[in-house]
Structure 1
Amino acid sequence: MRVLACLVASIGFLLISVLPGDASEESEQKPQTVEQRLIELAQSYSCTPRRYCSRNISSCQEARWYFLNCSWGGALDGDNDGIPCENLC
């Protein structure tokens, strides 16, 4: 269930980040597909080694990815309110 929620959240985020901001603007670069963006994200994060909010997580997006995808991700939510690394999110 947690993996499904992560997948749905990731796809929603990716759809927003892949869609152009203004349809009237033509870009020379072809926009990334959702599949390309998912592959890029999957390659950029890993559950090993373990990460900590105060040491080596630098964005809210990164914190959410670890929270949803790693076995130790729940430890990033110190007060159990569903928001990891509250100093970033």
Structure 2
Amino acid sequence: MEKLIVLAVLCFAAILNITALNAQSNHADLLTQSTKQSIAAKNTAQSDKKITRKHAPMIMNFRCDGRQYCAQMTSRAEAEYFLQHCPDTRMDGDNDGVPCENDSRF
């Protein structure tokens, strides 16, 4: 009799677990469909608009790599590139567009 009760409890737990897994699976399928619809709508909206991004030109192989200060630059041209194309630079104290004005190396 005890074995029968244990077996019944295990079967009941298994049924509850399967039901919960099916519910999660259905929810995931709905999210996947919703995500696909969002991506499709976004792609359609983007194709309707003309994307005009200004790509930073590769001048003398400069690239934004996190440097921010004049002491980290090797030339005035590099400092100018970083000031124009890279975020969070701290090379133009008076905000006149000319970087590293007080750096005697350049």
Same fold (TM over 0.5): no
TM-score bracket, shorter-length normalisation: 0.3 to 0.5
Greater length-normalized contact order (CA 8 Å, ≥ 6 residues apart): 1
User: Which structure carries more helix by proportion?
Assistant: 2
Q: TM-score, normalised by structure 1?
A: 0.44
